[in-house]
Amino acid sequence: MKVLRDDFRQNPTDVVVAAGEPAILECVPPRGHPEPTTYWKKDKVRIDEKDDRIKIRGGKLMITNARKSDAGMYVCVGTNMVGERDSETAQVTVFERPTFQRRPINQVVLEEEAVEFRCQVHGDPQPSVRWRKDDVDVPRGRYDIRFDKEEYVLRIKKASAADEGTFTCVAENRVGKMEASGTLTVRARPVAPPQFVIRPRDQIVAQGRTATFPCETKGNPQPAVFWQKEGSQILLFPNQPQQPNSRFSVSPSGALTITGVQRADGGYYICQALTVAGSILAKAQLEVTDVLTDRPPPIIRQGPANQTLGVDSVALLKCQASGEPVPTISWLKDGVSLLGKDPRMSLQELGSLQIKNIRLSDSGIYTCVAASSSGETSWSAFLEVKDSGGMVLIKNREEGELPGPPSKPQVTDVTKNSVSLSWQPGLAGASPITSYVIEAFSQSVSNSWQTVADHIKTTQFTIKGLRPNTIYLFMVRAVNTQGLSDPSPMSEPVRTQDISPPAKGVDHRHVQKELGEVIVRLHNPVVLSPTTIQVTWTVDRQSQFIQGYRVLYRQTSGLSSPGPWQTQDVKVSSERTIVLSSLKKGIVYEIKVRPYFNEFQGMDSESKTARTTEEPPSAPPQQVTVLTVGNQNSTSISISWDPPPAEHQNGIIQEYKIWCLGNETRFHINKTVDAAIRSVVVGGLQAGLLYRVEVAASTSAGVGVKSEPQPIIIGKDFRDVIVSGDKNNSITEQITDVVKQPAFIAGIGGACWVILMGFSIWLYWRRKKRKGLSNYAVQSFTFTPAGTVHLSRLSLFHSVRPSSTSSTSFCVHSLSHGVPHPVAILSAIFASGISALMKLILLQNFGPAQY
């Protein structure tokens, strides 16, 4: 017979879930024959299972990762051959947890400046919003809180040092709570705006060489220095790690270095210094020259010296030159070429001129000319020939007598028409250095080296009278009584320039605003090992002012409250990942990321959590104590311990394992207890057998280090108490251990019960017999000097030992007043019982010797 009843055995009920959570509806269809099947309808439309999020199993509808679109009215339909039956309607409501459309940004301001923190939230139902400062709700009055254009605003009219801290926007509705924070840093006045200590200057560098632009600044607070090539959006910051293919770097002092200079590197480079107190910038030009075409003229290392010789002697006029390409040497006499006109004159291998059998007519000015495609250089000397019988009046100098060449001159300052140089002296030679000579070359001025300064007494000098916006090269020679040294190496090319006042740089508020618009999306952290976590993120709304990223993380498990934030900086703005190391094992960490530009910081990403993997504990439980339990014939022991040190737990302790190891495997007894338990009683041990007791903690990763074995013997003639690390316990500690034993506690409990019952009987007896107290004659009690109490009517006292002085005297004191007080009787019994019980327990645990 086919049947389908009307009433569902279980109707679905309303469900309220948050978006992203699972929603479950259940029904049990009516009874029927054949047994009915079920399907579901949403808003009167049958649900199919094409959506991977929806699963129907029997009468259960499961929606994983619920969405707002899943909200509606649901009906369970039971059906068989008879027909269909609809269940009662169940409503599914999908709410949304609060989410932030805008988060507060971290800010740095000066004292008395206005500050605003803004946050914008969305959720269903609409979240309520409140503000906290350092985990305390902000007080009204000091802070202006309002709702402005869908944003919640906290405003401080004049910031002070007391306002520094973390401001948190807390958004909460019935399905969740979210928080977003921003830090406020207040810089105290007075402040000093940035100033240049060393300005960058123009550089002329040959291809393949290295260019360095110094840029040192000062200010209060210390300025943040960064570089930018004019027309580029890429910023270069100090302390950024050198990238494998990058030729650009900035030193901690702010100097920009470009290695392997290329033609495309030419242009203006801008050094900017920025603080909350202001900003400045300065430009410097990089000119890239061709190694083959932009070369200086030849350099004459040593030229001819003035000489006076006799007739018919041999004159040797030296001339040594160098340069790229190799120069050719020629000679002039009084401005007229010599070589090839007189067979007495010949050019030596290194360029020197030799004149044999000199005559009086050979007297004159001789000039050595070194020439190449890059220019020419000349050096002149006077030769005087006298009729003196061949006597040499002035001779050529030896090389060792001349001073050594000075070091390469360094450019220390450049102005519109001057260049300042400094150098180090070379070897003195046969006599001390008396002065220095500076030579200069500029293609726009001359095609040869010119002496621009001489008779210089110090190792630094400012050459003046130079042309503005002109490139110069410099070299220095030393002078002593023997003559001039070889020239120093050439200086780097330097361009004279027109110093303009430092321009104003980017405003710090603009930097703060751009950083505040950067959105960092943190991915789920990946646990790589028990002590490392990989953090990865992406960036929306990129900004040129991102110097790097600050990764913040803190411990949120294993402590009563979250630990302090720790930071690691990613100093390359193009990097999007970092590995956090040296973390604790088995600990939950909260992680977030924010962009930064020196002290200015952007908006934090949403926080993510990750738990490092566990390992077995690396230390044993502490203070392992082993005690015997019960009377002399007991075969049980009590074992207690403390957890391993927190830094060695390596995760969450799941359980403790106890091993009682006899001398044979068949005597072993093992036990496992929950992590919350700190002591356990183990029974069934063999009397007279030596056991070794070990305890170890266990995490999900396995069993940790065992404690040191604690020996104990169970038997009639041997009792021992062993505490890990202290085997010579004092009598006080032993008595304390006895007081903790169950037998002692049970005895105390029993005595208290007896006292309570006796007191109740006494109250009842006294109330009933109040009028008949005279019936109790004093004569019924007789006290003898021997200390014996004779009882004629109360047999209860026959069990009291007369040797128990304290209890007997107490009874006698009561009887001496003529009335047998029941409290005195019960107290005597209790005192005697406790005394006997203590003796018994001490005798059993410590033996006659210790007792």
The tens digit of pLDDT for each residue in 83-102 reads: 999 999 999 999 999 999 99
324 has pLDDT over 90: no
User: What's the CA gap between 553 and 131, in Å, rounded?
Assistant: 23
Q: What is the pLDDT of residue 388?
A: 66
Work out the average pLDDT over 171-189: 91
Give the tens place of pLDDT for each residue, 612-636.
999 999 999 999 999 888 776 778 8
Specify whether the CB–CB gap between 211 and 286 falls below 8 A.
yes
pLDDT in tens, 9-54: 999 999 999 998 999 999 999 999 999 999 999 999 999 888 889 9
Least confident of 74-88, 155-169, 558-572: 558-572
The backbone region for 586, taken as left when phi is positive above 0, alpha when psi lies in -120 to 50, beta otherwise, is left
**Confidence check: pLDDT of 821 > 60:** no
Residue 322 CA to residue 350 CA, distance in Å, equals: 10
- In sequence order, what DSSP letters do the residues of 463-500 get, joined into one string? EESPPTT-EEEEEEEEEETTEEPPPPPPPPPEE---PP
Mean pLDDT for 350-372 is 90
Summarize the confidence of residues 241-246 as an average pLDDT.
78
* pLDDT one-digit tens code per residue, 276-296: 888 899 888 898 887 555 678
Q: According to the model, what pLDDT value does residue 780 have?
A: 35
Contacts of 818 (CB under 8 A, 6+ apart): 778
Q: Is the pLDDT confidence value at 223 over 60?
A: yes
Dihedral (C-alpha) 706, 707, 711, 715: value to the nearest 10 degrees? -80
Q: What percent of the chain has pLDDT over 70?
A: 84
The pLDDT of residue 839 is: 54
Arithmetic mean of pLDDT, 128-136:
91
Indicate the DSSP class of residue 291. Answer: T
What is the per-residue pLDDT for 431? Answer: 86
What's the DSSP call for residue 655?
Answer: E
Please indicate, yes or no, whether the overall pTM of this predicted structure exceeds 0.85: no
| Residue 811, pLDDT above cutoff 50 | no
Residue 704 CA to residue 695 CA, distance in Å, equals: 10
* 588 pLDDT more than 50: yes
Contact 756, 749 (CB under 8 A): no
Give the closest residue to 75 by CA, choosing from 83, 85, 63, 67.
85
Please state the rounded mean pLDDT for residues 101-123: 92
The predicted model gives 340-357 an average pLDDT of: 85
The confidence band for 440, taking pLDDT boundaries of 50, 70 and 90, is very high
- How far is the C-alpha of 279 from the C-alpha of 72, rounded, in Å? 59
Among 10-14, 557-561, 738-742, top mean pLDDT goes to 10-14
- Spatial distance between the Cα atoms of 646 and 642, rounded to a whole number of angstroms: 11
Tell me: the pLDDT tens digits for 632-685? 677 889 999 999 998 898 888 999 999 999 888 888 899 999 999 999 999 888
pLDDT of residue 399: 61
Highest mean pLDDT among 145-149, 712-716, 761-765, 792-796: 145-149
User: Omega of the bond prior to 616 within 30 degrees of 0, cis?
Assistant: no
832 has pLDDT over 70: no
CB 50 within 8 A of CB 126: no
Whether the pLDDT of residue 799 is over 90: the answer is no
Segments of 211-323 assigned E as strands: 211-213, 216-220, 224-229, 235-236, 248-250, 256-258, 267-275, 278-289, 299-302, 307-310, 315-317, 320-322
Indicate whether 721 pLDDT > 50: no
> From CA 287, how far away is CA 201, in angstroms rounded?
11
Mean pLDDT to the nearest integer, 592-596:
93
Lowest mean pLDDT among 223-237, 249-263, 485-499, 780-794: 780-794
Quote the mean pLDDT of the chain: 83
Predicted local confidence at residue 532, as pLDDT: 95
Q: What does DSSP say about strands 519-522 and 299-302: parallel, antiparallel, or unpaired?
A: unpaired
**Has residue 846 got a pLDDT over 80?**
no
**All structural domains of the chain:** 3-96 (2.60.40.10), 103-187 (2.60.40.10), 192-289 (2.60.40.10), 299-396 (2.60.40.10), 410-495 (2.60.40.10), 510-611 (2.60.40.10), 622-729 (2.60.40.10), 743-848 (no CATH)
Task: Answer whether residue 724 shows pLDDT above 80.
Answer: no
pLDDT band for position 270 (cuts 50, 70, 90)? very high
Q: What integer is the mean pLDDT of 428-440?
A: 89
Q: Say yes or no to pLDDT of 728 above 70.
A: no
* pLDDT beyond 90 at 851: no
Does residue 824 have a pLDDT over 70? no
Average pLDDT value for residue range 239-246: 78
Query: Is the confidence at residue 813, as pLDDT, over 50?
Result: no
